[in-house]
Structure 1
Amino acid sequence: MIRVKICGITSKEDAWVAAESGADALGFIFVPNTPRYVGDRSDLEDLLESVPPFVTRVGVCRNLSDAARLRGVPLDAIQLYEPPHVEERALLSVVLQGRGLILACRMRSVEDALGIESRLEGLTISGVLLDAYDEKRLGGGGVVFDWNLACLAKSRVSVPVVLAGGLTPENVEAAIRQVRPWGVDVSSGVEMAPGKKDPQKIRQFVANAHRVALCEASG
């Protein structure tokens, strides 16, 4: 079964809609000065604790320094867009506190796909997330990248691969069929506005992702 992560959650209502729709994970953005940032909220712990059991809470950060500020925050995994520097890796276990590590790798060329192994070298990670490259933002921009690059990158790693970047209810089935990832990740593709999810789009995205996986399994 394909796993689904709904990213950029900013409210209890959106968290519950995603969970009830069958999402396996919810992403919470801890990158300052972005439209879905939740790190400065006074009700942050209440928001995270409202997530139902068996749904993974993922804290999305730019780098390990930002993740270090999340010690004690009730999260199940940390997603980094910048791999830890060699000198930081001794602190990695302290920062993670037993939480899983997902490394996001942005794809814009064959070189990015071929070089993915070097980015993961020396790291113990739960999975890798393949996202589109955007000069102005780390993610959540609704940009689709060449899925052939995702296939190439996937062939070079031995950890679960999550596909992101411009996915929508309309294209997620084609993406799964071509890339055959372990999971898919969506943010802007299921929104009314940045940080405000569309319940119908969430339900349709999860249903479409699960349907194509079930069809292939039964076929």
Structure 2
Amino acid sequence: MMKVKICGITNLADAETAVTAGADYLGFIFYLPSKRSVDINTAKAIVQTLRAAPNCPVLVGVFVNETGEHTAEILDEVGLDLAQLSGEEVPFLVGDEQSPIYGRCYKALRPTSLAEAKADAEWYSVTSNRLSVNSNQSPSLLIETYHPTLRGGTGETGNWEMSAQLAQSNPGLMLAGGLNAENVAEAVRLVRPFAVDVASGVEAYPGKKDPTLVRAFIHNAKNSG
């Protein structure tokens, strides 16, 4: 069944809504310019409550151009499973055993072309044996819509044809970019990704989820056929 990440979690109510609806991943954004950023103490309190429940999903911290050392510190302090690298991070952070977050991260790509996507995938793709989290739960890459300045959450739909070609050679691909409850089933059918990721597409306003949209998105993604 399709896996789903609800990203941009800023409060416990939204987190619990997503978990109850069947989310496989929750994303916490540690990037201040984002409208969906969360501070470390708030994230830590949410995570502690989630960890006490029996059905805690994989918890992901989203980072932009942080050092490996700082990223590892936040992962440990907050209690997160994985880091999503959404900036211009170097391949060393993902693929080198000397990296502070080796085996605990995956790269988000914002390619402008299929050629660029394939080249980046060669540099950054994570093999299952490099991940400390169960490989059946861990993405190898995330692909999102290119934007010259924004780091995700643009609401702009990506190039699904390009994503589909990338998914064929990267079975752990997570798809993001302009997804919502209305189009996610079609996106899943066309791209056949490992998982789908949504932030703005299930919001009442930036930083606050709409429970009805969260439930509809997860249901439609997981029942897309």
**What's the TM-score once normalised by structure 1's chain length?**
0.86
Q: 2:169 aligns with which of 156, 163, 170?
A: 156
Q: 2:82 aligns with which of 74, 77, 86?
A: 77
- Once the 2 structures are TM-superposed, how far is the Cα of residue 64 of structure 1 from its aligned partner? 4.5
Structure 2: which 5+ residue stretches go unaligned? Answer: 132-137
Q: 2:120 aligns with which of 116, 122, 126?
A: 116
2:125, 2:203 → 1: CA distance? 35
2:73, 2:36 → 1: CA distance? 17
Residue 62, structure 1, aligned to residue 74, structure 2: no
Offset from partner CA, 1:7-39 (integer Å, 9 cap, x none): 000000000000001111100001122111113
- The 8 Å contact of residues 64 and 84 in structure 1, kept in 2 or not, is answered as no
1:116, 1:21 → 2: CA distance? 33
1:143, 1:80 → 2: CA distance? 20
Partner AA of 2:151 in structure 1: L
What is the aligned-residue RMSD (CA, Å)?
2.2
In the alignment, what sits opposite 1:143? Answer: 156
In the alignment, what sits opposite 2:46? Answer: 47
1:6, 1:132 → 2: CA distance? 17
Partner AA of 2:116 in structure 1: D
- Give identity over the alignment, percent: 36
Partner AA of 2:57 in structure 1: V
- Once the 2 structures are TM-superposed, how far is the Cα of residue 115 of structure 1 from its aligned partner? 1.5
**What's the TM-score once normalised by structure 2's chain length?**
0.83
Q: Which has the larger displacement, 101-110 or 67-76?
A: 67-76
Q: Which has the larger displacement, 147-156 or 170-179?
A: 147-156
Give secondary structure in 2 for the equivalent of 1:113.
Answer: helix
Equivalent residue pairs, number: 208
1:69, 1:77 → 2: CA distance? 12
- Once the 2 structures are TM-superposed, how far is the Cα of residue 151 of structure 1 from its aligned partner? 1.3
In the alignment, what sits opposite 1:16? Answer: 16
- Once the 2 structures are TM-superposed, how far is the Cα of residue 45 of structure 1 from its aligned partner? 1.3
Partner AA of 1:193 in structure 2: Y
Offset from partner CA, 1:64-109 (integer Å, 9 cap, x none): 41524414321011111233354894542x346x6x3121111321
1:173, 1:44 → 2: CA distance? 30
Give the direction of change, closer, same or farther, for the CA distance of 1:69–1:34 in structure 2 (3 Å limit).
Answer: farther
- Once the 2 structures are TM-superposed, how far is the Cα of residue 120 of structure 1 from its aligned partner? 1.8
- The 8 Å contact of residues 93 and 101 in structure 2, kept in 1 or not, is answered as no
Give secondary structure in 1 for the equivalent of 2:106.
Answer: strand
Structure 1: which 5+ residue stretches go unaligned? Answer: none
